[in-house]
Amino acid sequence: MTTALLLFNGPRAFGENMSDEFKLPDIGEGLAEGEIVKWLVAVGDTVNEDQPLVEVMTDKATVEIPSPRAGTVTKLNVAEGDVVQIGTTILLFSDGVNAVANEVATTDVNAAPGVTHDELEQARELARAERDAAEASRSDLAQGEKKTGGVAAPAARRLATELGVNIDKVSGSGPGGLVTKDDVRSFADSVSQPPDVDPPGATVDSAAHDAPPSTPAPDLSEERVALRGLRRTIAERMLIAKTTAPHYTYVEEVDMTKVETLRREMKPKAAEQGIKLTYLPFIIRALVLALKDHPYLNASLDEDAGEIVLKHYYNVGVATATDRGLMVPVVKGADSMDLFDLASEITRLSDAARDGKIALEDLQGGTFTITSTGNIGGFLATPVINVPEVAILGITSIRERPVVINGEIVIRHMLNLSLSCDHRVVDGAVAALFVRDLVKFLQDPGA
């Protein structure tokens, strides 16, 4: 048996016999599957108990799944972007594979009679190279990559990225064609050499020097971004919404001058309590009052049962833009909150959503949704219903505009409202009456 085989047989046998499956756990809420958004570990990594292993997307929430134990990652069974069922084996552990490999690799030369120190060192290098190649191969397989070039060690891939080298074009000089860091450096040096210059005495075309500079070619390059994670969830839900619920949008304007005055008066007291008082709490308060008078807007349609479900609780979703995409945290029991309570809860939910730390339960159970472009601007919108709800209210920015009141032109703080409804449940007249009352409550916030 050669020293190289001696070095490898121990760890391989250990990994095969002592591997431990890690299955996608039940995250709760009766969910049956999750999408692998991002691996936080790689093959060969040694992890600690409770160390985050993977980001998983479920029902608009991205959660980090921690490791149940310490060990070494030997295999990633699924790739980023895969949707897998709860209970599926997504990763394999083994106890101390790296430790065993190191122990064998550093065995005193006396443990292998007849093997010289130089031969042992050479075998160690070969073992490390083969291990890197195996890890790189497994990592590529887990990520669904299709490689046309040789296998590269992870360190070589990192260096190639830093130097702007296409790793697939680099020929490997290591065992089995393994691409090493030296191979990457040599390739980078070869492509960075300046072109040959004309030899002394060569004829120079003067016309070429006199020609005007050519117009740069247009950039026709493209970039492809994987449709995965929250972006894919949004795409699927929007498709369901638009193909299931027949939408229509009703638009009206509202004078927010009294709300602006009241908000300005209340802001100092809110600031003393560490509360940021925006317009949204005033809008939600008026919205709940209008919903109580028009219950078919605070409802859902149970198609299987053939029933309209009128809800006597008021959980208002607030669409929130995040780096990952649009999320809809839900202010639950909005009818029982005062303005300061609403403002605090809106801040808590929106901050958690933007930080990627929002709990799954905070994204569920909504009965009506508000979406706002805020300070971005806009005049009106046609928002898409957050099914299974039957209506959504779109609001834009509040602007000072000239309006006619009692025959006189005055400047007022005006806001446009865009209400989209599911025509299977909400008729146009019902939507118009609802918006009329919403405008009434907003224009007289002290009532």
Contact 417, 397 (CB under 8 A): no
The predicted model gives 288-313 an average pLDDT of 96
φ, ψ for residue 184, nearest 5 deg = -65, -45
Interaxial angle between packed helices 280-293 and 428-443, expressed in degrees from 0 to 180 and rounded to the nearest 10: 130
pLDDT at 107: 42
Question: Which among 75, 88, 87, 192 is positioned nearest to 139, based on CA atoms?
Answer: 75
Q: Is the pLDDT of residue 307 over 90?
A: yes
Contact 162, 181 (CB under 8 A): no
The predicted model gives 240-246 an average pLDDT of 90
Higher pLDDT: 148 or 124? It is 124
pLDDT at 117: 52
Q: What percentage of the chain carries pLDDT values higher than 70?
A: 74
CB-count burial class (<10 Å; 0-12, 13-18, 19+) for 219: exposed
Residues in the chain: 447
Higher pLDDT: 249 or 31? It is 249
The predicted model gives 289-311 an average pLDDT of 96
Region label for 406, one of left (φ > 0), alpha (ψ between -120 and 50) or beta (otherwise): left
Instruction: Give catalytic status of residue 312 as yes or no.
Output: no
Q: How many angstroms separate the Cα of 165 from the Cα of each of 105, 160, 188, 222? A: 32, 5, 7, 19
Q: Is the pLDDT of residue 407 over 90?
A: yes
Q: 163-167, 195-199, 396-400 — which one is most confidently predicted on average?
A: 396-400
Contact 245, 390 (CB under 8 A): yes
Q: Is the pLDDT of residue 299 over 80?
A: yes
Range with the lowest mean pLDDT among 116-130, 213-227, 336-350, 411-425? 116-130
pLDDT at 95: 73
15 pLDDT band (50/70/90 cuts)?
very low
Angstrom distance (rounded) from CA 154 to CA 146:
16
Q: How many angstroms separate the Cα of 418 from the Cα of each of 57, 394, 426, 435, 446? A: 31, 5, 15, 9, 24
pLDDT at 227: 81
The predicted model gives 346-363 an average pLDDT of 90
pLDDT at 151: 66
Higher pLDDT: 134 or 162? It is 162
DSSP secondary structure letters along 168-209: GGPPP-SGGGPBPHHHHHHHHHHHTSPPPPPPTT----HHHH
Q: Is the pLDDT of residue 373 over 50?
A: yes
pLDDT at 375: 76
Q: How many angstroms separate the Cα of 153 from the Cα of each of 78, 157, 185, 445? A: 20, 6, 14, 66
Model pLDDT for residues 89-134, shown as the tens digit of each residue: 999 988 754 433 444 444 444 444 455 555 555 555 555 555 555 4
Contact 96, 104 (CB under 8 A): no
Provide the β-strand partners of residue 326: 321
Q: What percentage of the chain carries pLDDT values higher than 90?
A: 44
Tell me the average pLDDT of the chain.
80
Question: What residues contact 442, with CB distance under 8 A and at least 6 apart?
Answer: 254, 255, 256, 259, 282, 283, 286, 415
pLDDT at 233: 81
The predicted model gives 145-155 an average pLDDT of 54
Q: Is the pLDDT of residue 147 over 90?
A: no
Higher pLDDT: 142 or 286? It is 286
Q: 157-171, 191-205, 314-328 — which one is most confidently predicted on average?
A: 314-328
Interaxial angle between packed helices 280-293 and 257-272, expressed in degrees from 0 to 180 and rounded to the nearest 10: 120
Q: How many Cβ atoms from other residues are within 10 Å of residue 99's Cβ?
A: 13
Q: H helices within 112-166, ranges in order?
A: 117-142, 154-163
Looking at this protein, which amino acid is placed at residue 244?
T
The predicted model gives 348-361 an average pLDDT of 89
Q: Is the pLDDT of residue 431 over 90?
A: yes
The predicted model gives 332-344 an average pLDDT of 96
Q: Which of 247, 294, 413, 423 is catalytic?
A: 423
Interaxial angle between packed helices 3-18 and 117-142, expressed in degrees from 0 to 180 and rounded to the nearest 10: 40
